[in-house]
Amino acid sequence: MDAFFAGLPLADVHQDVAHNIKSIRVSQNLFDDLSDDPADWEIAQQHELATKPHTYGSPNTIIDRPFEEADWLNAIEFPFRNWAASRFCDGSFGIWYGSDLVETTVHETVHHWRRFLADAGFDELVPQGARESITGERKVYWVRCDAALLNLSARVAEYPDLVHPTSYQFTQQIGARLHRESHPGFVTPSARCVGENYGVLNRNVLSSPRACCSLTYRLTGEGVMVEREAGQTWMVVN
């Protein structure tokens, strides 16, 4: 492992990074079961905003709106509060993932979505040639990243386990060391397609979350059909 890190170059990153998360296209009104009057919904929403403790401190508190807190929590904060095992993490700390392109995030998340469905036995419900069966909805955010990140891409030729399709043993060792030594993060090639992924260990280098698009994944017998505009196939991932 020492040889891997020796002389590892840095990537000076100052750009937007795409972050793809589970979400829904149309949000549910949380107060429509209390009253049929939209005016009552507005009163309930205002009461919630007035009493809910805020965890996102905006640098522009006079002009920022409460929904920006939701964007911050969804697009940045969530993985630092909800730890989970992944390619570069054994589940003992938080790590945020993004990609240089929206298409890269699709290939990455479709892979994990298919694994989830297969583990639950849902893949068996989709016959060959079926055009539509199981659906999932996603949301993509653009998030600004400003940091000097370790460039793992420079080591792929010597260490192919960086992009191993199923084994995370080597990469989790890398992530554990970076977390232990308080590095802000790294850049690494995607193991699913052409493109680069960003693993961030320090939330302070992320800022300015903005909604990019909503996506719908449709599992068919021919692969996963991805819609960016509802009802229109944007790409197919086999």
Give yes or no for residue 56 having a pLDDT over 90: no
- Enter the pTM of the model: 0.81
Q: What percent of the chain has pLDDT over 70?
A: 78
pLDDT at 71: 87
Long-range contacts of 69-74 (CB under 8 A, 24+ apart): 71/141, 71/209, 71/210, 71/211, 72/209, 74/21, 74/23, 74/139, 74/141, 74/209
Give yes or no for residue 49 having a pLDDT over 80: no
The overall average pLDDT reported for the chain is 86
pLDDT at 61: 46
The model's pLDDT over 135-158, given as tens digits with 9 standing for 90+, comes to 999 999 999 999 999 999 999 999
Give yes or no for residue 224 having a pLDDT over 80: yes
- Position with higher pLDDT, 160 vs 55: 160
pLDDT at 33: 66
Give yes or no for residue 5 having a pLDDT over 80: yes
- Position with higher pLDDT, 118 vs 15: 15
Per-residue confidence at 124, pLDDT binned at 50, 70, 90? low
- Position with higher pLDDT, 58 vs 47: 47
Alpha-carbon distance of 76 to 96, in angstroms, equals: 7
* Contact of 225 with 218, CB cutoff 8 Å: yes
Q: Give the residue-averaged pLDDT of 216-236.
A: 92
Q: Where are the domains of the chain?
A: 2-237
Give yes or no for residue 58 having a pLDDT over 70: no
Residue 216's CB: how many other CB atoms inside 10 A? 20
Give yes or no for residue 105 having a pLDDT over 90: yes
Task: Report the number of secondary-structure helices (H) and strands (E) in the chain.
Answer: 6, 10
